[in-house]
Amino acid sequence: MTQLDWIRVKGADLVDGADRVVRLVGVGLGGWMNMENFISGYPGNEEAIRRILLDRMGREAYEAFFDAYLHDFVDDADAAFLAGIGINSVRIPVNYRHFEDDDRPFELKESGFAQLDRVVTLLARHGIRSIVDLHALPGRQNQHWHSDNPTHLAEFWRHRHFQDRVVHLWEALADRYKDRPEVAGYNPINEPADPTGEVLPLVYERLERAIRAIDPRHVLFLDGNKYSTDFSFLDGRAEPMENAVYTAHDYALPGITSATEYPGVTRGEFFDRAVVEQTFLRRTEYMRRTGTPIWIGEFGPVYPTDRDPEPWRYRLLRDQLEIYRDHGASWALWTYKDIGLQGLVTVAPGSEYLRLVGDLVEKKRRLGVDSWGGSDAGVRDVLDPIDALFDREFPEYAPWPLGRQPHIALLVRHILLAEPLAEQFGDLFRGVSPEAARVLASGFRFDRTIERTPVTEVLRSHLAE
């Protein structure tokens, strides 16, 4: 195993034991220990689809599928591939459900820690540091599917019980990794969305005390509010926490909407490199003002599968990478592997898995069920009357955090339509044998995926400079 040194915060930099500056350049391991619908192909949220699949497949086939999925999604070949690109860090999103069951709170499961241990170790073998990211919290810390949220409510901020469980879990994670320098640090809450902005700083303070009492060495990577874009909740508070990095997520609008060109106009605004840089500077103002390191925990365009490749998306990626380098920012590109929308590697269209679920994935696309990368073009006949009703009856309604139209899309497309579609997805797996289930999951194995070479070439070129 490659020996990796401890890293820590020194002023505006991360440094190793010899005070050499360390710039983390990495990817997110989305879809592994925290599944997401656009990554794995199912509709809705992870807990619901697991419950449905268990019902359709039975216990033995269900466990065979997910045991194989967790192993095949990331293994030694994946780590070797990432190291070959020049990647030196991986942000590992995890769902609390791997470590604790809702009906047995505070009783931790060794199986989740063992799975995480395996990947931390194999990444370190290739010289890659890990950042452990709690991506889905009990009670849900934001309003969307990626916190395994079946609703539009983030109850984590309203119930002390959920907060107590997260502190307890982080105490266990800190104890597990307190002597592991190959873990660069801990990302305690992914994309918090605290409507008041008053609970989040208190939760961070409580988590810092709990983690530091056990593990004083690891770096804390602390997301901003409103999906890691807003640090105003820190205004008027004490100095930045010791040995902490405040992390922004920096998705450039042309890369995640129905834009058709870059540079060009997206939603009435002209975007070029200068505008993308201005957005980055706005989102990282707190870090630059306080002289703390910058880590962009998520960013990157999507690559829609319903149209020909668009070279301008790769230009946008290059521009963002250059901006981050110019400002000394570390980063983690979202995401490493999926079924085709955004990954560096993607499941092959001819795989047994996509042959089984491909028609339903197309139905998801047509109905705009997935929030990430989805379009409402196929359901405007449903949404237009709702928009007209709100224009007439509730013209001032703009719910936090994203406003009225995204709120309606969440309720109608991403919840209402996803629920029956998830049932149809589960029906596809009815009668699948344990052996067939393992074959289906093996579609995510590295040697059965396809490299998105235009993206990896951008990364290789940038990291070689």
Cα–Cα dist 176/215, whole Å: 9
Please tell me which residue in 100, 208, 277, 298 is annotated as part of the active site.
298
Cα–Cα dist 65/430, whole Å: 13
Check the CA dihedral 75-78-80-86 and report its sign: negative
Cα–Cα dist 107/99, whole Å: 8
Please list the rounded mean pLDDT of every run of 10 residues in the chain (465 residues).
Answer: 88 97 98 98 98 98 98 98 98 98 98 98 98 98 98 98 98 98 98 97 98 98 98 89 98 94 96 98 97 98 89 97 98 98 97 98 97 95 98 97 96 98 98 98 98 98 96
Q: In sequence order, which residues have a C-beta less than 8 Å from that of residue 437 and are 6 or more positions away?
A: 57, 61, 62, 64, 65, 68, 429
Cα–Cα dist 166/161, whole Å: 9
Q: In sequence order, which residues have a C-beta less than 8 Å from that of residue 385 and are 6 or more positions away?
A: none
Q: What is the pLDDT of residue 258?
A: 86
Is position 60 annotated as part of the catalytic site?
A: no
Buried b (16+ CB within 10 A) or exposed e, 244-258: bbbbbbbbbbbbbee
Closest CA to 96 of 39, 171, 158, 148: 148
CA angle 435, 438, 444 (to 5 degrees): 155
**89-95/345-347 β-pairing:** unpaired
Fold classification of 8-356+433-464 (topology level): TIM Barrel (3.20.20)
Please tell me which residue in 46, 191, 208, 277 is annotated as part of the active site.
191
32 burial level (CB within 10 Å; 0-12, 13-18, 19+): buried
Is position 298 annotated as part of the catalytic site?
A: yes
Q: What is the pLDDT of residue 2?
A: 65
Whether cis (ω within 30° of 0) applies to the bond prior to 257 is: no
Query: Which two three-digit tokens encode residue 74?
Result: 């990331």
Local structure of 396: helix, strand or coil: coil
**Cα 43–chain centre separation:** 17
11 burial level (CB within 10 Å; 0-12, 13-18, 19+): exposed
Cα–Cα dist 406/399, whole Å: 9
Cα–Cα dist 228/248, whole Å: 5
Q: What is the pLDDT of residue 1?
A: 53
Local structure of 429: helix, strand or coil: coil
Plot region of 431 (φ>0 → left; ψ -120 to 50 → alpha; else → beta):
left
